[in-house]
Amino acid sequence: MSLNLQTHTEHFTNPLYLDSGRILEPYDITYETYGELNEDKSNVVVICHALTGSHHCAGTYEDENKAGWWDGLIGPAKAIDTDKFFVICTNVLGSCFGSTGPMSNRHPYHEEYRYKFPVVTIKDMVKAQRILFDRLDIHRVHAIVGGSMGGMQALQFAVHYPNFSNKIISMAATHATQPWAIAFNKVAQEAILKDPDFKQGYYDADIIKEQGLSGMAVGRMAGHISFLSHESMNRKFGREYKRDDGLYELFGKFQVESYLEYNGYNFTKWFDPLTYLYITKAINIFDISRGFDSLQEAMKKVQSELHLISFRNDLLFRNFEMKEIHNVLDSIGNKNHTYVDIDSDYGHDAFLVELDKFEDYVKDILNG
Amino acid sequence: MSLNLQTHTEHFTNPLYLDSGRILEPYDITYETYGELNEDKSNVVVICHALTGSHHCAGTYEDENKAGWWDGLIGPAKAIDTDKFFVICTNVLGSCFGSTGPMSNRHPYHEEYRYKFPVVTIKDMVKAQRILFDRLDIHRVHAIVGGSMGGMQALQFAVHYPNFSNKIISMAATHATQPWAIAFNKVAQEAILKDPDFKQGYYDADIIKEQGLSGMAVGRMAGHISFLSHESMNRKFGREYKRDDGLYELFGKFQVESYLEYNGYNFTKWFDPLTYLYITKAINIFDISRGFDSLQEAMKKVQSELHLISFRNDLLFRNFEMKEIHNVLDSIGNKNHTYVDIDSDYGHDAFLVELDKFEDYVKDILNG
Between CA B281 and CA B343 the distance in angstroms is: 30
Instruction: Work out the minimum CA distance from B267 to partner chain A, whole angstroms.
Output: 15
Among the residue ranges A67-81, A315-329, A353-367, B242-256, the one predicted with the least confidence is: B242-256
Q: Is residue A242 part of a domain?
A: yes
CB contact under 8 Å between B248 and A285, yes or no, is yes
Q: How many distinct helices (H) and strands (E) make up chain B?
A: 12, 12
Same domain, A123 and A248: no
Q: What are phi and psi of A145, to 5 degrees?
A: -135, 130
pLDDT at B195: 96
- Taking residue A239's Cβ as centre, other Cβ atoms within 10 Å add up to 17
DSSP A121: -
The tally of domains found in chain A comes to 2
- Taking residue B320's Cβ as centre, other Cβ atoms within 10 Å add up to 13
DSSP A105: B
Q: Is residue B210 part of a domain?
A: yes
Q: Which of A183, A195, A287 is nearest residue B256 as measured by Cβ atoms?
A: A183
Same domain, A145 and A133: yes
Same domain, B173 and B185: no
CB contact under 8 Å between B237 and A176, yes or no, is no
Between CA A191 and CA B337 the distance in angstroms is: 44
pLDDT at A1: 73
Asked if B293 is an active-site residue, the reply is no
Short-list B64, B89, B53, B96, CA closest to B74 = B89
Instruction: Work out the minimum CA distance from A255 to partner chain B, whole angstroms.
Output: 9
CB contact under 8 Å between A183 and B277, yes or no, is no
Short-list A293, A181, A120, A289, CA closest to B254 = A181
Beta pairing partners, B45: B87, B143
Between CA B323 and CA B341 the distance in angstroms is: 8
Same domain, A193 and A129: no
List, for chain B, all residue ranges whose pLDDT scores fall below the cut of 50: none
CB–CB of B107/B50 below 8 Å?
no
Is 90 exceeded by the pLDDT of residue A127?
yes
CA angle (B183 as vertex; B182, B185 as ends), nearest 5: 65
pLDDT at A56: 98
Same domain, A11 and A28: yes
DSSP B162: T
pLDDT at A209: 80
CB–CB of A55/A90 below 8 Å?
yes
Between CA A301 and CA A286 the distance in angstroms is: 17
- Tell me the pLDDT band of A207, cut-offs 50, 70 and 90: confident
pLDDT in tens, A255-277: 999 999 999 999 999 999 999 99
Q: Is residue A1 part of a domain?
A: no
Same domain, B23 and B108: yes
pLDDT at A243: 77
pLDDT at A184: 98
Between CA A229 and CA A232 the distance in angstroms is: 5
Determine the residue type at B263. Answer: N
Same domain, A144 and A293: yes
Same domain, B132 and B31: yes
Beta pairing partners, A171: A147, A309
H or E element at residue B222: helix B214-227
Q: Which of B22, B183, B278 is nearest residue A233 as measured by Cβ atoms?
A: B183
Residue A23: give its domain's CATH number: 3.40.50.1820
- Taking residue B363's Cβ as centre, other Cβ atoms within 10 Å add up to 15
**How high is the mean pLDDT of chain A?**
97
Between CA B291 and CA B284 the distance in angstroms is: 16
Between CA A74 and CA B84 the distance in angstroms is: 70
Short-list B214, B184, B189, B207, CA closest to B276 = B189
Between CA A220 and CA A276 the distance in angstroms is: 10
Is 80 exceeded by the pLDDT of residue A36?
yes
Residue B267: give its domain's CATH number: 1.10.1740.110
Same domain, A273 and A300: no
Active-site entry in B314, B326, B344, B349: B314
Q: Is residue B1 part of a domain?
A: no
Return the SS3 of A189.
helix
CB contact under 8 Å between A249 and B184, yes or no, is no
Active-site entry in B81, B124, B348, B349: B348
Cα R_g (chain A), whole angstroms: 20
**Residues A179-207: what's their mean pLDDT?**
95
Is 90 exceeded by the pLDDT of residue A176?
yes
Domain termination site, one of A262, A281, A300: A281
Short-list B279, B198, B115, CA closest to A194 = B198
pLDDT at B243: 77
Of B213, B230, B251, B312, which to mutate for an interface test with A (greatest number of A Cβ within 10 Å)? B230
In this structure, is the dihedral angle defined by the CA atoms of residues A43, A49, A53 and A55, taken in order, positive or negative?
Answer: positive
Domain termination site, one of B261, B281, B301: B281
Q: How many distinct helices (H) and strands (E) make up chain A?
A: 12, 12
Same domain, A16 and A47: yes
Q: Is residue A118 part of a domain?
A: yes
In this structure, is the dihedral angle defined by the CA atoms of residues A320, B237, B224 and B51, taken in order, positive or negative?
Answer: negative
Short-list B19, B327, B316, B349, CA closest to B179 = B316
Domain that holds residue B208: 181-281
pTM over 0.90: yes
- Taking residue A2's Cβ as centre, other Cβ atoms within 10 Å add up to 11
Peptide bond into B26 cis (omega under 30): yes
Same domain, B170 and B35: yes
Q: Is residue A331 part of a domain?
A: yes
Domain termination site, one of B262, B281, B300: B281
Q: Is residue B253 part of a domain?
A: yes
Asked if B348 is an active-site residue, the reply is yes
Same domain, A86 and A130: yes
- Chain B residue closest in CA terms to A115: B250
Q: Is residue A255 part of a domain?
A: yes
pLDDT in tens, B196-223: 999 999 999 888 788 889 999 999 999 9
Between CA A158 and CA A186 the distance in angstroms is: 28
Between CA B172 and CA B342 the distance in angstroms is: 10
Q: How far apart are the first and last CA of chain A?
A: 22
Q: Which of B194, B224, B239 is nearest residue A176 as measured by Cβ atoms?
A: B239
Short-list B258, B182, B99, B133, CA closest to A179 = B258
Q: Tell me which residues of A are annotated as active site.
A: 148, 314, 348
